[in-house]
Structure 1
């Protein structure tokens, strides 16, 4: 189970929570299966409700859909499914409720529903005291989470990540420890998806400016000043087309007008300032010709994709990860698109 909530701790926590409400509970293993537990919660009159437990560290509204899909096939039809998690956000609780699942948030709340049984009550907090830092913390945490999601199948060590990010190994080691504490990487430092993606999405806040005009490929000296980077796209740093227009090229289920203003990542704030001076700023959002953004990590402009061979698009594209992070910032339309979008190979879906 990696860095997710330990199953033994989850078992003990659920038993303690149920008994704190005056109900009796017995644990039994399913015949022939040492990996699954059933709980018999005994009610008055000799009746019992059978509960099957799934464990994770975190449930949010965004992670719940994928988690429920993964768990669904292994749940027997005649049992009450229940999630035990270190933390379940308010909107994550709503998603579980809508799906008819019971849950235990180890911070101190149990919801348990079944034939003849309804519990929705505070229980003693059962989680261990959190570490001082956990989850995606600070700029190094954002950069490390991004690097891991760009390489979800690779086993990246501390020194390798530090060299890639240009950070001190000690800072990267602390960031790894915080991710492990939050249940967002496994013991071998692989990203836990989609949980890490959605944690990163909460921290993804690019600096953005709306432009009055947009540079053109092949524009000469002005393009050089703006560091557009049309040469050797996949091995150099430069502007990267992102968000809705890029999502269309990657095959995401989104429709867009032909004159939809493009959105770009630019390498750094100095490029953003030069572009603002040379191209002007839009007086109002409806008048923008394009937007430019500085990402929370330089990787957005260093891991670009040359799409000229398979898309009618001269601009380098941002990696699908960054496009997905931009779409995730829209709590309505964007997140619906992500739920239906799996990018083509060689890219992997991590959301």
Structure 2
């Protein structure tokens, strides 16, 4: 059996958790050629249950269906599949339970079901997870995740990623290692989807400001100061339309009233401050003309989409990836939209 470092750690963690509830369990390093049993659990009756471990950084109600489809490939009918994850949300637990999957949340809960066994109890939490288990700790992790998800089929090397992100190759290499350990990229450094998307969504927290007015089209001293970037959209830096209005342009199943205030990403805090000064702060959120958000990563405002040839939208759009990350912040309607939205080519669905 060939086991990735994270999978091996997950198997060891599951053995410890099963042992803590009074059952015997052992890792099986040698198996038959047509089997991939990671662990054998021995019941008090002497019967044995074959278990195969599937590891993830996080499991949510949104990510679980896609993850289960991938995990089910090659899982024999008499083998119990157990998901071991750093975090499994309430919605993720419900999905796994309904689908008949067992799971271990490393924060301290085990659910193990199979022939002759039913365990659903708290267990000792894994202590000291460390940055390598998180995968996306730090700004470099967020930037690299965004870069990988923009083109999930592309294999990108350390030096190429470092050049694009203006980061030291050593930092990129360390981050790739952390992502691999966390199960967020594969051995070819390609993103594991939707796992990486939802891990990034957990850390996607742009800072926004509600404005009293919206910039007008055309040249002008104020527009130059605001760095709108309306010329040569796809090769320059500038404002990027995002969230609900942008999702609608891309064909996502959103419902919004006429005149819905747009949301924009701006390149940096300096631009956001200029926008507040020149356009004025809104008295209240309900009276805002628009909202500006500082882009969490430079790629947002550097990889914009010009929609003027195929949509009635003069504003440059944020890439569908970043629009989806904004929608993902709404645990209700936003995530329902994501479940029903697959962007047209050449963009990729990674959620």
- TM-score category, normalised to shorter length: 0.7 to 0.9
State the Cα deviation string for residues 262-309 of structure 1 (Å, max 9, x = none).
111112222111211111111001100110111111111000001111
Cα distance in 2 between the residues matched to 1:42 and 1:293:
55
Cα distance in 1 between the residues matched to 2:296 and 2:77:
45
Hey, what does 2:6 align to over in structure 1? Answer: 5
**Structure 1 residue 82, shift from structure 2 partner:** 2.8
**Structure 1 residue 3, shift from structure 2 partner:** 5.5
Cα distance in 2 between the residues matched to 1:144 and 1:24:
41
Q: For the structure 1 residues 251 and 51, does the alpha-carbon distance in structure 2 shift closer, same or farther, using more than 3 Å as the test?
A: farther
Hey, what does 1:258 align to over in structure 2? Answer: 258
Cα distance in 1 between the residues matched to 2:20 and 2:165:
48
Hey, what does 1:33 align to over in structure 2? Answer: 34
Cα distance in 2 between the residues matched to 1:299 and 1:325:
13
Correspondences of 1:163-178 after superposition (within 5 Å):
163-178=163-178
Most deviating of 10-19 and 205-214: 10-19
Find the residue that maps to 2:63 and give its secondary structure: helix
State the Cα deviation string for residues 25-80 of structure 1 (Å, max 9, x = none).
69999987334669575464x8x585553411323214223212333565566765
Most deviating of 25-34 and 9-18: 25-34
Q: For the structure 1 residues 166 and 13, does the alpha-carbon distance in structure 2 shift closer, same or farther, using more than 3 Å as the test?
A: closer
Structure 2 residue 222 is the aligned partner of structure 1 residue 236: no
Hey, what does 2:283 align to over in structure 1? Answer: 283
State the Cα deviation string for residues 171-204 of structure 1 (Å, max 9, x = none).
3233323323322222222222211111111211
Structure 2 residue runs of 5 or longer lacking an equivalent are none
Find the residue that maps to 1:256 and give its secondary structure: coil
Cα distance in 1 between the residues matched to 2:210 and 2:304:
22
Tell me the TM-score normalized by structure 2: 0.85
**Structure 1 residue 151, shift from structure 2 partner:** 2.3
Q: For the structure 1 residues 217 and 190, does the alpha-carbon distance in structure 2 shift closer, same or farther, using more than 3 Å as the test?
A: same
Cα distance in 1 between the residues matched to 2:142 and 2:192:
15
Structure 1 residue runs of 5 or longer lacking an equivalent are none
Aligned residues: 346
**Structure 1 residue 246, shift from structure 2 partner:** 0.5
Find the residue that maps to 1:186 and give its secondary structure: coil
**Structure 1 residue 318, shift from structure 2 partner:** 0.3
Cα distance in 2 between the residues matched to 1:255 and 1:132:
40
| Counterpart contact for 1:217–1:315, Cα < 8 Å | no
Correspondences of 1:141-180 after superposition (within 5 Å):
141-180=141-180
Alpha-carbon RMSD: 3.0
Hey, what does 1:55 align to over in structure 2? Answer: 54
| Counterpart contact for 1:52–1:75, Cα < 8 Å | no
| Counterpart contact for 1:242–1:317, Cα < 8 Å | yes
Cα distance in 2 between the residues matched to 1:321 and 1:148:
11
